[in-house]
Structure 1
Amino acid sequence: MTNGTCYIHLKCNRGPSPMCLDWREICDRKCDCLDNCNDEEQCFKLEINECEKDQYRCNNGMCISQELFRDRNKFIDCIDASDETFYDREALGLNCFTNPAFDCDTLTCSWFHSFSCGNGQCSTHHPAQPYLSLCQNGRDLLHAQAIFMHDVSSELSEECWLALICALSLEYIVDVDCVYARSVQLVCPSRFIFPSWPTLFNDIRFIYELNNTNIIVPSYICYNAKWCDKFLNATFFINESACKYLYEFPFFDTERLINDNFYDDVELFFKHWCPLPELMITNNDICSHPALFHCAGTSECVSKYRLVDKNADCYQSYDELFNESCSLNLSHRFYCPSDKKCIPQVQLEDGTADCSGQEDELSVHRDCILNKQCENEKIIFSKICNGFTEMPPIQIGDQNETDETNCEYWPCVTPYTLCDKVWNCYNGADELNCSYMIYSYNCKADEYHCIRVDNITQGMQIDNHISQDCLPMKYAGDKKINCLGSIDERDYCHSNYPNEANRRYRCWNDTTCIDINRLCDCTSDCPLEDDEAICSWLRDGLNAFNSFDRKYYCFCSPAYYGDRCQYQNEFIALILNVRRKSARDHLFVFRIIIVLLNEKKDFLFQEQILYVSSCKKRYQMYLLYPDRPKLKDENYSIHLDIYAINRLHNTIQFRSSFHHKIPFTFLPVNRLVVSLAIPETQAQAKSCGNIQCQNGKCYRYENLNQYYCRCSHGWFGEFCQFRHECNCSPQSICTETGCVCPLGKSGSLCYVPEIISCKDIVCQHGGTCIPHGQRLLEKDFLCICSEEYEGIFCEKRRMRINIAFNNIPIPSTILIHYFI
């Protein structure tokens, strides 16, 4: 698409220029490549896939760890976001236009009848549906324009084309003036095809025959019979296309054809009656795999996991009417006693009652707040005075009190509020020294990033009067707005809209507060249009100017490549959830080496992270294939080595290894979520029998009952059979994957001082600054403190109890019992 991105590593006729394939349209259960449907090759494997007992099956058939399902941590783990509620998925997709990031780069659509906007957002309507353009980046509109623009090679004159555009209410798509349009009956032939390109998949075309009515609707619809159901008998043929009269289709409704969901209805009908060949019944009228469910009346088969999930996957919603869903013993289902049916657990507490008795919504906070239906609702301690009302008002005396009442008496800087991206203090003191606020903009430790506005009045171009700056904390919360969006004075929007957590952007010189999702959506919502003027400061990406050749160059996200980052890359989106098992490891930090392997165990791509915490941390990274396009039939896997670094002595010791296979390697983008629990003891070499490690020792993977060779210094290969020179720096360790660096060093040979993240950071009272790197979703440094101090910079003395004995002889053994 123009101004969009394309996946070019699959030969595909997506339609007229500038239409092109988006990688998310591969394995979306519909043919987007018009001529051969090769975007759906091998996708049958996803539909029949079964997950392990300790896994959750995503809507598209992939698997994630069960512990990640509905974990309420605002992170998406399934590539189609089906592990979280619809509200979480919707919010993430809407943000993708203005906030391109890892989740958006790796997000697909989870609905059968959705249209990919090409950036993580999804539309629920066909692009040609009048007045329903939903993609914020305009991909659906560009799609419709490509289909309906006048084709000079067609039999239709431009005058006839204009008449049809206006008669079908499509003028919003191609931006024409219908004042000069003539009657279709006067300027068009008696029979014609419109549009000249197939509007939908499977070569579906609309044939018009003019009559005396003023309603312009197709007379019949033609399609490619080889892709369609044996039950869909053609009435007649034109050339090699099967055709049926419009009134023969069940969706025929004259009133709806004029102004409503005609294209949506046609698309849904043919999706059901023209399913993928692998998802059609056999000659015995049964589905080809036991994991599939037969849609009655058609040849279509769908995964049994799609039954009773609020999405119509069968014709006439037969899968949603199935009344024996509990008999299938599907995992992650909730039993509705009122209906005696089993629904997916992801539908619990999503704000919509799916059981007639509302058992699935009994404890939802959203209903409590908005509908005041719950009493004595309990919340966890950390949510009290966190800036969001979690409970309905309770009458206490003559006051209505909530969990946000009398918060001025509570400390605003606590372990729960520190660096959580919410201002709990009036001046934001709880969000100071957080890297997402200052280090990216070179602000000082007591300053906030601020987009300032010069004197501006109605009618002036605000984007010519804004600049980046840093605001000292003393000016925050002083009742005077200094920064665009009133980010330094947040009380107004919060007080006026306490239950609308996203309505926090205050328009400049105005009392209007708008939802942050309406920023940079190409529609001005503020009187001075400042909600659109800030976009150049907000969007990711880097356009660099080269002073030598005086040209601009684009630095692309790993998800894209090309001189304008216009092509979509193939990669593995790896998410690591890391935690340590033992509290005794507090003296260690862990360097984790991640290597992408092929079937020959060749090292194709390498990344590494530094884990410095006792809590679970989430890391996100792109693993790129060495070939473009990647080898079609190659199998890939990921090998992870963990090294423990003693922070006092800066010595390195191997701890353990993990191995994970990459499933469904035919997909251009694969999302792998790995839970990594660091063992408390070092792995020991084993006697492996059939594996002969020539210059190394045999070890077992921590997560598998499989063995591998760990090579000695200077050797590499599957069996450590190859020699290589190792020039790593002192204190580092030479391995077959490269050099493992001690703290403070980086680079391929560990000679480069690792000072960028810790520059200007002073850890107090003997603390040590450790750089996190760019993979962690938090600040990029950490001060490791001694046992006596804590805080971001080790500036606070830990609470302790000093016990002293005066003039009392202390025996060799003593039992002390005390109360706090």
Structure 2
Amino acid sequence: CQYEMNYYNESQLSLYDIIHDYYNRYLSNSTFLTCYIHLQCIRGPSPLCINWREICDERVNCIDGKFDEEHCWQLEINECNDNEYRCTNGQCIPKSFFRDNRDIPDCIDTSDEYGIEDSRPSECYGGEPSFKCEDIGYTFYTLLNVCDGFVEVIPKRIEGKIETDETECEQWSCNNIYTYCDGIWNCPRGEDEIGCYSFSKLNCSLDHHLCVLPNRNRLVCLSIEKINDDVIDTENNHVFLNKTNTVLSKLTILETPQKHQHKCHRGLDLRVWLNDEKNLTTKNTCLCPPSYYGNQCQYENQQVSLTIKFQALSDSWSTLFAIIISLIDGSEERIIRSYEQFTYLSSRDCKIKFNIYLLYLTRPKDLTQNYQIHIDIYEKMSLIYRGSLLYPIKFSFLPVQRLAYIAIIPRHNEKLQSCSNSHCIHGKCIAYYNNPQNNTFCQCYPGWSGRYCAIPYTCTCSSDSICIGVSAYNRSICICPINKFGYQCLIAKTICQMNNNLTCQHGGQCIPADEYMSTSNKKFSCICPKGYSGDRCEIVDNKIILTFEDYMVLSQSIFIHFIAMTSILTGIARRRN
């Protein structure tokens, strides 16, 4: 093994268990400084920087210009369809997703699940990086917003006066029980944060701030009189504090954690072995979650966070599908920037909303490209192609896209809409099933890629699989048969080759577990024939068989009603006894 984790114990059966236990054991209470560096923006004196959640938050956070609010008008004028809910920030989600799961909002501003009186879920503070916490912009109004210099409450007329959260502020002290030691400078010189750093052995007087020497991690005391005095206070040419008119947030303040320090911010600390024989190791490296990157996971990633729910018609209720979701661009190469593949079974997964991260190939992303989400659907058993879906990505200026869709799987034997595109050199023209703006694409033959299937590549998939394209890293994208797995479909899955009595009973179809889907220890699942149910099709369903004599004349339609009869008198007699 090339990688080693120091926090493994015998009770952990999978990598999922290791990660879950690690974050439960070591809650991160650090406001470790993370930055979004792909926008021209001076947030304040170093080490302050912009956070992606501060982009399009209706505040100008860049003190050198309005760069963080420059394109946000596009969200304000965005219109949604009748079957969609419009988030407060202007983005659209399916209307059926509104108020459907309080734990996982679909709007990036959480407006579909949370009200203004709510707060961020407690498990999102320092816990395991999750889809519901990492890519959400929580912008709730609290007492901390009162008299902070920004009007965040709609003006209301109260007793003849127009009132907001910024009126009569002369009666609201910046240093009060709500602002004291909250990690935010609410007073011009930070009087509300003096004496709040109990972790330090350096005791500063009541008129001094505890400051960090950036490049040396050394703590010093700085007089409050030197704050905002138009003079840069330095030692060895390193800035301690500088004048700023910016209201700082918890997301942009450097603070030394008091408990277990995460060297990798929200990531995992790994040791990489270079030479097993000589017992040599490198310095520890960081395994970052999708939302971050960098040697300490200190930079915020540009990404697409996709929530998607599939729906299949009744003829496909028991059909296992292979779903491939790709982030593509509009270039001649039609590069697949990133992709995810998993299996879908409607009888098992019809209520599941899949949460998927798609990352861009370069940092920063190429803003000249027209990015889209392309979905291919194949029947897993027969590897027959069912169809493709296309979803455009609007608002390319947003660093994080949180998109939500409902995808309809084409019915069995539905005729694919063909098209005439003479530019498809080594492929055929296919119309998208959901057909937004009558879009089409060239479905390339194995060994060819690009917008017009003119770029050759060597397919490395196994002979019994299907090669549907090549990733940006020149790796073939393979759809494996049901009994194979691995990125080249070369590894056999033997669980379903066992005795059927040990897997699925009564002729049920054994399906090996999809590691992408499952967090349990189940190795397989069963597709049961009619009349049977249960995890292994071991339960015989109750049924009523109706037969008619040959001489009876039957109409074309018969309505049959089943009525359950219970005796009230019997129930009364039982209670008396």
TM-score bracket for the superposition, by shorter chain length: 0.5 to 0.7
Residue 772, structure 1, aligned to residue 505, structure 2: no
Q: Which residue of 2 aligns with 1:665?
A: 396
- Residue in structure 1 matching 2:194, options 151, 157, 171: 171
Shift of 1:84: 1.5
Residue 593, structure 1, aligned to residue 336, structure 2: no
Pairing 1:1-40 to 2, within 5 Å after superposition: 3-40=32-69
1:7 and 1:78, CA in 2 relative to 1: closer, same or farther beyond 3 A?
A: same
- 1:611, 1:772 within 8 Å by CA — same for their partners in 2? no
- 2:493, 2:512 within 8 Å by CA — same for their partners in 1? no
- Residue in structure 1 matching 2:91, options 38, 56, 62: 62
> 2: distance between equivalents of 1:693 and 1:652?
23
- 2:45, 2:244 within 8 Å by CA — same for their partners in 1? no
Q: Which residue of 2 aligns with 1:242?
A: none
Q: Which residue of 1 aligns with 2:540?
A: 798
Letter in 2 for 1:659: L
> 1: distance between equivalents of 2:394 and 2:493?
36
Q: Which residue of 1 aligns with 2:185?
A: 144
- Residue in structure 2 matching 1:638, options 345, 353, 373: 373
> 2: distance between equivalents of 1:45 and 1:114?
30
Pairing 1:192-207 to 2, within 5 Å after superposition: 197-200=243-246
Shift of 1:639: 0.6
1:617 and 1:48, CA in 2 relative to 1: closer, same or farther beyond 3 A?
A: same
Deviant stretches of 4+, over 6 Å: 112-116, 123-126, 755-759, 776-780, 812-818
Q: Which residue of 2 aligns with 1:627?
A: 362
Q: Which residue of 2 aligns with 1:679?
A: 410
Task: Number of aligned residue pairs: give it.
Answer: 446
Letter in 2 for 1:602: I
> 1: distance between equivalents of 2:71 and 2:496?
44
1:803 and 1:64, CA in 2 relative to 1: closer, same or farther beyond 3 A?
A: closer
RMSD of aligned residue pairs (Cα, Å):
4.4
Shift of 1:689: 4.2
- 2:310, 2:409 within 8 Å by CA — same for their partners in 1? yes
Shift of 1:786: 2.7
Residue 612, structure 1, aligned to residue 345, structure 2: yes
1:776 and 1:579, CA in 2 relative to 1: closer, same or farther beyond 3 A?
A: farther
Letter in 2 for 1:784: C
Letter in 2 for 1:746: F
Instruction: Provide structure 1 residue ranges, at least 5 long, that are not aligned to the other structure.
Output: 117-122, 149-163, 182-186, 205-262, 264-521, 524-531
Question: What is the DSSP-based 3-state SS (H/G/I as helix, E as strand, rest coil) of the residue aligned with 1:46?
Answer: helix
Greater relative CO, 1 or 2 (CA 8 Å, sep 6+): 2
> 2: distance between equivalents of 1:564 and 1:746?
33
Shift of 1:130: 4.8
Question: What is the DSSP-based 3-state SS (H/G/I as helix, E as strand, rest coil) of the residue aligned with 1:67?
Answer: helix
Q: Which residue of 2 aligns with 1:555?
A: 287
> 2: distance between equivalents of 1:37 and 1:756?
59
Q: Percent identity?
A: 32
Residue 745, structure 1, aligned to residue 484, structure 2: yes
Larger mean CA deviation between 775-784 and 586-595 belongs to: 775-784
1:696 and 1:686, CA in 2 relative to 1: closer, same or farther beyond 3 A?
A: farther
Q: Which residue of 2 aligns with 1:695?
A: 426
> 2: distance between equivalents of 1:4 and 1:59?
28
Question: What is the DSSP-based 3-state SS (H/G/I as helix, E as strand, rest coil) of the residue aligned with 1:144?
Answer: coil
Pairing 1:512-523 to 2, within 5 Å after superposition: none
- 1:733, 1:741 within 8 Å by CA — same for their partners in 2? yes
Letter in 2 for 1:790: S
Q: Deviations over 1:361-408 (max 9, x none)?
A: xxxxxxxxxxxxxxxxxxxxxxxxxxxxxxxxxxxxxxxxxxxxxxxx
Letter in 2 for 1:198: T
1:813 and 1:626, CA in 2 relative to 1: closer, same or farther beyond 3 A?
A: farther
Shift of 1:112: 7.7
- 2:510, 2:526 within 8 Å by CA — same for their partners in 1? yes
> 2: distance between equivalents of 1:130 and 1:798?
68
Higher helix share: 1
1:659 and 1:610, CA in 2 relative to 1: closer, same or farther beyond 3 A?
A: same
> 1: distance between equivalents of 2:553 and 2:481?
42
> 2: distance between equivalents of 1:13 and 1:61?
26
> 2: distance between equivalents of 1:41 and 1:114?
29
1:773 and 1:714, CA in 2 relative to 1: closer, same or farther beyond 3 A?
A: same
- 1:621, 1:775 within 8 Å by CA — same for their partners in 2? no
Shift of 1:706: 2.1
> 2: distance between equivalents of 1:597 and 1:555?
25
Shift of 1:711: 2.2
Q: Deviations over 1:104-138 (max 9, x none)?
A: 1110134589999xxxxxx9999x7654369xxx9
1:690 and 1:581, CA in 2 relative to 1: closer, same or farther beyond 3 A?
A: same
1:602 and 1:573, CA in 2 relative to 1: closer, same or farther beyond 3 A?
A: same
- 1:60, 1:110 within 8 Å by CA — same for their partners in 2? no
- Residue in structure 2 matching 1:107, options 122, 129, 136: 136
- 1:619, 1:775 within 8 Å by CA — same for their partners in 2? no
- 1:758, 1:771 within 8 Å by CA — same for their partners in 2? no
- 2:319, 2:346 within 8 Å by CA — same for their partners in 1? no
> 1: distance between equivalents of 2:418 and 2:86?
37
Q: Which residue of 1 aligns with 2:440?
A: 707
1:689 and 1:612, CA in 2 relative to 1: closer, same or farther beyond 3 A?
A: closer
- 2:309, 2:405 within 8 Å by CA — same for their partners in 1? yes
> 1: distance between equivalents of 2:527 and 2:420?
46
Give the TM-score, by structure 1 length.
0.48
Letter in 2 for 1:578: F
- Residue in structure 1 matching 2:469, options 725, 736, 746: 736
> 2: distance between equivalents of 1:99 and 1:758?
37
> 2: distance between equivalents of 1:112 and 1:199?
21
Pairing 1:278-317 to 2, within 5 Å after superposition: none
> 2: distance between equivalents of 1:755 and 1:551?
39
Residue 545, structure 1, aligned to residue 287, structure 2: no
Letter in 2 for 1:799: D
Larger mean CA deviation between 540-549 and 100-109 belongs to: 540-549
- 2:308, 2:354 within 8 Å by CA — same for their partners in 1? yes
> 1: distance between equivalents of 2:305 and 2:102?
19
- 1:618, 1:776 within 8 Å by CA — same for their partners in 2? no
Instruction: Provide structure 2 residue ranges, at least 5 long, that are not aligned to the other structure.
Output: 1-29, 146-151, 154-164, 167-173, 209-223, 232-240, 250-256, 274-279, 471-476, 565-577
Give the TM-score, by structure 2 length.
0.66
- 1:768, 1:784 within 8 Å by CA — same for their partners in 2? yes
Residue 717, structure 1, aligned to residue 457, structure 2: no
> 2: distance between equivalents of 1:573 and 1:629?
17
> 2: distance between equivalents of 1:780 and 1:192?
65
Pairing 1:424-573 to 2, within 5 Å after superposition: 541-547=267-273, 548-549=280-281, 551-573=283-305
> 2: distance between equivalents of 1:757 and 1:545?
36
Letter in 2 for 1:688: C
> 2: distance between equivalents of 1:721 and 1:169?
65
Q: Deviations over 1:703-762 (max 9, x none)?
A: 123222222333322222333333422331222353211113223321123579999x96
Letter in 2 for 1:666: F
